[in-house]
Amino acid sequence: MAAGDFIKKPDRRFRLLLIIQALWMTTLLVLAVWWGTLLKQQGDEIATLQTQLGVPEADVQGRLDRTLRMIEGESGTFIALILIANAVLLFFFFRDTKRSRSIEAFFASITHELRTPLTSIRLQAEALRDIEDNPGHTPYLNRLLEDVTRLEGQVQQTLELARIEGGGGLNPKPLRIRTHLQNRLLPQYELGASRIRFECNLEEAFVLADPSALAIIFRNLIDNALKYSSGAPASILIRGSAHENSYLLEIHHLNSNLAGLPKTPGELFERGTQSQGAGVGLYLVKTLMKRQDGSAVFNPRGTVFETRLSFKREKGDQDG
């Protein structure tokens, strides 16, 4: 992902702000001209009435001139202050947008560059595990591989978060949800019965989902289950039911010990008192589901942490 991907959205927002500012100033000037014309007409009518009532014309004209000068001065000052305030706000917005572009470009570049050495470390660790003759070293190599894989996932998650916040989109397409989960996603997490155990009860149906986004969603949920389980293995029940226009996927972490959750799990940087992360994972799950015209709801209930993912069904899919 190139750093330039992050510039598109700020550019659009800046152009939109310029258009709004131009419309606002045009409206303001039109209103100022209208009010000025209206006040002048009313002043002329009052002067005419005063003249008809016998007030000397010189006095009437003097009062009218003073009133018009006061209106022009006060309205001109007011408009000038509004123009200055808008210019200052526009300047600060432009400066902050430019700074934000630089930070996002640097962030994207450094995160992207981390992927290559991490992949190299993982490949070397796998090679060492394959050629290592000492069984006592195997647990350490397995732990190294798990840590590198988790770090790769965190880098990918960070890149995805930055891409989404920078205006990147997804590409949902019809997926056979049960087939995709059981044949593509869940086998990646078969770490042995001592680490994690899945129980699946899924109806088959076509749903609209982005495969990469779906992989990130499950990686976050399963990583949380591995980190916050009261015992081994982490026990996960996955149920899926097809409805008329939607597909409900429920992921139950049955032996969760994730205590001290925030009041609104799924908000960015909101984390529980005992959380080891920064609150990014659940936020990313929620955001990715929204980008696929779906939704994500998190419901902690004692030792069960329930995640309900609602997908949009493919049109014309009635029998799955």
> Over the stretch 141-181, which tens digit does the pLDDT of each residue have?
777 877 787 787 777 777 777 666 666 677 888 999 999 99
Write the pLDDT tens digit of every residue in 90-114. Answer: 788 778 777 777 766 766 677 667 7
Helix residue ranges per DSSP H, 132-195: 138-165, 177-180
What is the rounded CA–CA span in Å between residue 170 and residue 45? 64
Higher pLDDT, 71 or 216: 216
Nearest to 212 by CA among 265, 145, 163, 282: 163
Output the pLDDT for position 2: 43
For tokens 């029940």, what's the residue? 237
The pLDDT of residue 236 is: 92
* Both tokens assigned to 208: 């609209």
The answer to whether 205 and 317 have CB atoms below 8 angstroms apart is yes
Tell me the residue type at 73. G
Interior angle at CA 201, CA 197 and CA 205, nearest 5: 130
Task: For residue 170, give the nearest of 268, 249, 288, 280 by alpha carbon.
Answer: 288
The C-alpha atoms of residue 145 and residue 125 are separated, in whole angstroms, by 6
* Helix axis angle, 280-291 to 138-165, nearest 10°: 50
The number of angstroms, rounded, from the C-alpha of 211 to the middle of its chain's C-alpha atoms is 18
pTM of the entire predicted model: 0.59
CA-based R_g, the chain, Å: 32
Contact between residue 262 and residue 271 where contact means Cβ atoms under 8 Å apart: yes
Distances (CA, A) of 236 to 141, 214, 224: 26, 17, 11
Average pLDDT, the chain: 77
pLDDT, tens digit, 9 for 90 and up, residues 231-248: 778 889 999 999 888 999
pLDDT at 18 over 80: no
Q: Kindly tell me if the per-residue pLDDT of 13 is higher than 70.
A: no
Q: Which helix (H) or strand (E) holds 249?
A: strand 246-253
**pLDDT score at 159:** 72
Question: In sequence order, what are the residues at sequence separation of 6 or more whose Cβ sits closer than 8 angstroms to the Cβ of residue 158?
Answer: 111, 280
pLDDT in tens, 264-298: 565 655 555 555 555 677 888 888 898 888 999 98
Q: Which residue has the higher pLDDT, 65 or 246?
A: 246
